[in-house]
Amino acid sequence: MSYPLFQISFVVYFLAMAAYVGFFVSQNNRVRTVARGIFTTGAILHTLNIIARYFEAGHTPITSQHETVSFFAWAIAWGYLSFRWRYTVKNFGTFVSILTVGFMLIAALASREILPLVPALQSWWLPVHASISIIADGFLGLACIGGIMYLLQEREIKRKRFGLFFSRLPSLEALDKLNQHCLSVGFPLLTLGIISGSVWAKQAWGAYWHWDPKETWSLITWFLYAALVHLRFTVGWRGRPAAIMTIVAFLAVLFTLWGVNYLLGGIHSYAK
């Protein structure tokens, strides 16, 4: 039941992306309305897929590679939709839909096998820790997209040669605000994810902190974001340096998520 839903939502996301790209090129508002509708439909179907998988697996479906990445895509999609109705950022949807489809593709390529839950994960901390962490990553992903858009727009303005993006991307101010907004949601959630993980580690492994590679890397990630947030609030860091740092920090997020599993291993690497 869950897999067809996954496939359908993947296809719907893909159609939404195509529509968004169509809108990006044509700047026809009717196309955007259609794209938004399709994207929202995709996100709803995706939600149903995750619920269905929860019942199929009998546990929160954020353990395997497939599940984690799929949930990541879900977090990005809903993170985007959560403030879509609060304020609009011109053409943000186009970039978000591309990233969403990218993650869905990775999820689709990973093994969908439902593995029995290892004893260490059999805890009510699993939904709390995993979902908070991934939702945090979702918002940080949105911040990264905002950063990329900022750099694209800034590049054209600085170089004084206007191509594809100048008229299509929103103002630098709007993109910088977007960056700040996503960080102010994503960073507290990231912090909460690490704290909840630490508390769970105390219960499961007997100590709050193990210097396990995954823990170490999430700490590094946390420090990067902490520095960025700190610089933003104290010395008014913004614009290009902030955008670059957002992107770098998100690369650290991705490394924590995948790189650690494949390259470093450790007790935390369940989702191989």
Place of tokens 């960080």: 183
The count of other CB atoms within 10 Å of the CB of residue 230 is 11
Of positions 84, 112, 210, 238, contacts other proteins by CB under 8 A: 238
- Tell me: does residue 87 bind other proteins (CB under 8 A): no
- Tell me: does residue 239 bind other proteins (CB under 8 A): yes
Q: Which is nearer to other proteins, 112 or 168 (CB)?
A: 168
CA 39/CA 100 separation, integer angstroms: 10
Enter the tokens of residue 15. 């159609």
Kindly state the smallest distance separating residue 234's Cβ from other proteins, in Å: 9
Place of tokens 């890397």: 217
Window contacting other proteins (CB under 8 A); options: 25-33, 101-109, 114-122, 235-243: 235-243
- What does the per-residue mask of binding to other proteins show for 150-189, with x meaning CB under 8 A? ---x---xx-xxx---x---xxxxx--x------------
Kindly state the smallest distance separating residue 143's Cβ from other proteins, in Å: 18
Among candidate residues 139, 128, 253, the one with its CA nearest the CA of residue 187:
139
Among candidate residues 114, 102, 11, 10, the one with its CA nearest the CA of residue 67:
114
Q: Which is nearer to other proteins, 84 or 240 (CB)?
A: 240
CA 243/CA 151 separation, integer angstroms: 7
Q: Which is nearer to other proteins, 70 or 179 (CB)?
A: 179
CA 213/CA 180 separation, integer angstroms: 29
Kindly state the smallest distance separating residue 157's Cβ from other proteins, in Å: 6
- Tell me: does residue 236 bind other proteins (CB under 8 A): yes
Q: Which is nearer to other proteins, 26 or 33 (CB)?
A: 26
Q: Which is nearer to other proteins, 87 or 262 (CB)?
A: 87
Kindly state the smallest distance separating residue 172's Cβ from other proteins, in Å: 5
The CB-side HSE value for 137 (13 A sphere, CA atoms) comes to 28
Residues sharing a CB contact under 8 Å with residue 76, sequence separation 6 or more, in sequence order: 96, 99, 100, 103, 138, 141, 142
- Tell me: does residue 27 bind other proteins (CB under 8 A): no
- Tell me: does residue 235 bind other proteins (CB under 8 A): yes
Among candidate residues 232, 196, 234, the one with its CA nearest the CA of residue 215:
196
Q: Which is nearer to other proteins, 56 or 173 (CB)?
A: 173
Q: Which is nearer to other proteins, 177 or 210 (CB)?
A: 177
Query: Site size for other proteins, by CB under 8 A?
Result: 20
- Tell me: does residue 241 bind other proteins (CB under 8 A): yes
Q: How many helices (H) and strands (E) does the chain have?
A: 8, 0
Residues sharing a CB contact under 8 Å with residue 252, sequence separation 6 or more, in sequence order: 217, 220, 221, 224
- Which residues bind to other proteins, rule: CB under 8 A? 153, 157-158, 160-162, 166, 170-174, 177, 235-241
